[in-house]
Amino acid sequence: MIEVKINGLFLTQSQASGVILKEVDGDKTLPIIIGEFEAQSIALGLENIQPPRPITHDLMLNLLNTLESKVERVIISDLRNNTYYAIIQVRRKSKVYEVDARPSDAIALAVRQNIRIFVEEEVMRKGAYSADELQDIEDRQIDTNQDRLERLKKELQEAVEKEDYERAAQLRDDIKKLESRQ
């Protein structure tokens, strides 16, 4: 297994949230798309922000503490059909239990108590990117955005020439959004 740390949270162009895990002793990163609420929970944990009332992940840890149990580690255990799977290892007295979980929930628990996060080697092989591969992806993304930007500007010019001002306003807004991402 490969130990990882949280390298950041991100938002995709389609407004999906994600978390980036990075090898502790390496340069590979593993991006995982997660839900918006889980991303917010992870962010709260990373920033050590305590909400006035326990949110779901705090509640889970409170329950474990009440039952004299603790999370030992989190493992991103599998990648099947573009879906990641995780295991939360929970110790109660001398016995360790493995609980099936979504990676986002497991990570949200881990950040609250500085619990180590691991990724199975096969999962890293299937889903991780090296620094060079990430740079290539970013370069292609910039090219794709630039091509789209040029196309939108041409469509805007055509809409103005045809006096289709509603379409022109929409295109203008799309251009501004795209430019703000670059």
Residue 2 tokens, joined: 């490969």
Alpha carbons 9 and 112: distance in angstroms, whole number: 16
Residues 6+ apart with CB under 8 A from 39: 9, 17, 18, 19, 104
CB atoms within 10 A of CB 126: 14
Task: Kindly state the helix (H) or strand (E) to which residue 10 belongs, with its residue range.
Answer: strand 2-11
Q: What is the pLDDT of residue 8?
A: 87
Q: For 31-74, how does the pLDDT look when each residue is reduced to its tens digit (9 = 90+)? A: 999 988 899 999 999 988 888 888 999 999 999 999 999 999 99
pLDDT at residue 132, as a whole number: 66
Per-residue pLDDT of the chain (182 residues; tens, 9 = 90+): 999 999 988 877 667 788 999 999 998 999 999 988 899 999 999 988 888 888 999 999 999 999 999 999 999 999 999 899 999 999 999 999 999 999 999 999 999 999 999 999 999 999 988 766 655 555 554 446 667 778 888 888 888 888 888 888 888 877 777 676 55
